[in-house]
Amino acid sequence: MRIAFFGTPHFAAVQLEHLINEGFEISVVITAPDKPAGRGRKLNQSDVKEIALKHRLTLLQPSNLKDPHFVESYCNLDIDIAVVVAFRMLPEMVWKAAKIGTFNLHASLLPSYRGAAPIQWAIIRDEQKSGVTTFLIDEKIDTGNILLQSTCKVLREDTGGSLHDKLLELGKPLIVDTINGLANQKITPKNQNHSKTKVSYAPKLNKENTRLHLHLSSYEAESLIRGLNPFPGAYGNIQFNHKIINVKIWKAKAVTLEKIAEEGSICVFNKSLFIRFKSSWLEVAEWQLEGKKRMSIGDFLNGNPNIQGAKWL
What's residue 253's pLDDT? 97
What are the beta bridge partners of residue 283? 253, 274
- Judge whether 288 lies within some domain: yes
Q: Which residues of 205-244 are buried (b: 16+ CB within 10 A; e: fewer)?
A: beeebbebebebebebbbbbbbbbbeeebbbbbbebeeee
pLDDT (tens digit per residue) in 152-173: 999 999 999 999 999 999 999 9
Q: Do 245 and 192 lie in a common domain?
A: no
Which pLDDT belongs to residue 179? 98
Same domain for 229 and 286: yes
Q: Which of 224, 251, 248, 227 is nearest to 238 (CA)?
A: 248
Report helix, strand or coil for 181. Answer: helix
Considering its fold, how many domains does the chain have in total? 2
C-alpha span between 117 and 198 (Å, rounded)? 18
pLDDT value, residue 214: 96
Same-domain status, 192 and 240: no
Q: Are both 169 and 261 inside the same structural domain? A: no
The reported pLDDT for the residue numbered 43 is 84
- What are the residue ranges in the chain where pLDDT is below 50? none
**Cis? peptide before 111, omega within 30° of 0:** yes
Indicate which CATH number applies to the domain containing 257.
3.10.25.10
CATH number for the domain harbouring residue 26: 3.40.50.170
Q: Is 168 in the same domain as 71?
A: yes
The answer to whether 149 and 132 have CB atoms below 8 angstroms apart is: yes
Does residue 57 sit in the same domain as residue 187? yes
Q: Taking Cα atoms as reference points, which of 271, 274, 272, 242 lies closest to residue 261? A: 274
The answer to the question of residue 262 being in a domain is: yes
- 186 and 231 together in one domain: no
**What's the confidence (pLDDT) of residue 241?**
84
- pLDDT computed for residue 151 by the predictor: 98
Which of 202, 235, 265 represents a domain boundary (last residue)?
202
pLDDT of residue 260: 84
